[in-house]
């Protein structure tokens, strides 16, 4: 009697194909729902699609990322920006694990609603993570933060301490960023409210805030 073969179970390719096609369908449907302003339905579709995509053997990261981004846009359209970080963290577990485009969108969204401390926390957490320091978009995120957070708040004096705290930048990149905004001319700040500073006048971090972390995951 032949012995039973011991080894890894064969991959059910038909099931994988079904899951990935279902996830792609969810992505198409979610984009359509976003276009026609069915935002609540769009979010539900994104969540369903993410579950399907993660059942694929390698997690289908491109589809998960695309669905996550559409979901963020739907939350933004509903003006439910407070729910964006919990949503993202349920998809990726932590900010460090998020792809650049998701982090970029989170920073821009929180900058739009003037939640600057959250912008700082999100950007800093991602930029300080070792595996993100070789990301080709690392420099882009640093400049995104400068342009959308420090410049509007007239905090050019804080650009240098911020870039020096980014371990993924080399000397030339730090020098370039500091020089680019060194003589930036700001508009009058007479109508601006006093911002909540992340740094003191010496450029030292007073309080390093973290985004609201939601324990556990839905996916």
pLDDT tens digits for range 18-32: 666 889 999 999 999
Does residue 206 share a domain with residue 101?
yes
Please tell me the predicted confidence (pLDDT) of residue 184.
Answer: 65
Domain of 141 in residue numbering reads as 96-186+197-212
Tens of pLDDT, residue by residue over 61-80, are: 999 999 999 999 999 999 99
Higher pLDDT, 86 or 9: 86
39/41 Cα distance (integer angstroms): 5
Please tell me the predicted confidence (pLDDT) of residue 31.
Answer: 97
Mean pLDDT confidence for 22-46: 96
φ, ψ of residue 199 to 5 degrees: the values are -125, 160
Tens of pLDDT, residue by residue over 96-107, are: 999 999 999 999
Q: Decide if 97 contacts 106 (C-beta within 8 A).
A: no
Does residue 100 share a domain with residue 74?
no
Does residue 119 share a domain with residue 24?
no
Domain count, the chain: 2
Does residue 122 share a domain with residue 204?
yes
Does residue 115 share a domain with residue 58?
no
Does residue 147 share a domain with residue 45?
no
Does residue 63 share a domain with residue 135?
no
Does residue 204 share a domain with residue 142?
yes
Q: How is residue 42 annotated by DSSP?
A: H
Does residue 208 share a domain with residue 108?
yes
200 has a pLDDT exceeding 90: no
Please tell me the predicted confidence (pLDDT) of residue 21.
Answer: 80
Overall pTM > 0.85: no
Residue 107 lies in a domain: yes
Does residue 53 share a domain with residue 109?
no
Tens of pLDDT, residue by residue over 102-140, are: 999 999 999 999 999 999 999 999 999 999 999 999 999
Residue 118 lies in a domain: yes
127/169 Cα distance (integer angstroms): 10
Residue 46 lies in a domain: yes
Does residue 102 share a domain with residue 29?
no
């Amino acid at each position: 009697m032949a012995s039973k073969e011991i080894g890894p179970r064969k991959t059910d390719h038909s099931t994988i194909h079904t899951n990935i096609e279902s996830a792609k369908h969810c992505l198409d449907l979610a984009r359509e729902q976003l276009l026609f302003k069915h935002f609540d339905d769009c979010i539900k579709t994104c969540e369903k699609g993410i579950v399907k995509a993660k059942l694929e053997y390698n997690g289908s990261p491109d589809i998960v990322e695309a669905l996550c981004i559409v979901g963020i846009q739907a939350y933004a359209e509903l003006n439910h920006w407070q729910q964006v970080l919990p949503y993202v963290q349920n998809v990726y577990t932590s900010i460090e694990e998020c792809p650049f485009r998701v982090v970029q969108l989170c920073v821009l969204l929180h900058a739009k609603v003037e939640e600057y401390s959250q912008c700082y926390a999100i950007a800093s957490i991602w930029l300080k993570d070792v595996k993100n320091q070789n990301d080709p978009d690392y420099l882009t995120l640093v400049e995104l933060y400068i342009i959308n957070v420090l410049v509007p708040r007239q905090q050019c004096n804080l650009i240098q301490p911020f870039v020096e705290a980014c371990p993924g930048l080399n000397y030339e990149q730090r020098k370039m960023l500091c020089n680019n905004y060194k003589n930036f001319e700001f508009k009058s700040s007479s109508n601006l409210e006093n911002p909540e500073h992340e740094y003191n006048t010496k450029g030292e971090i007073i309080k390093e805030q973290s985004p609201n972390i939601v324990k556990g995951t839905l996916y």
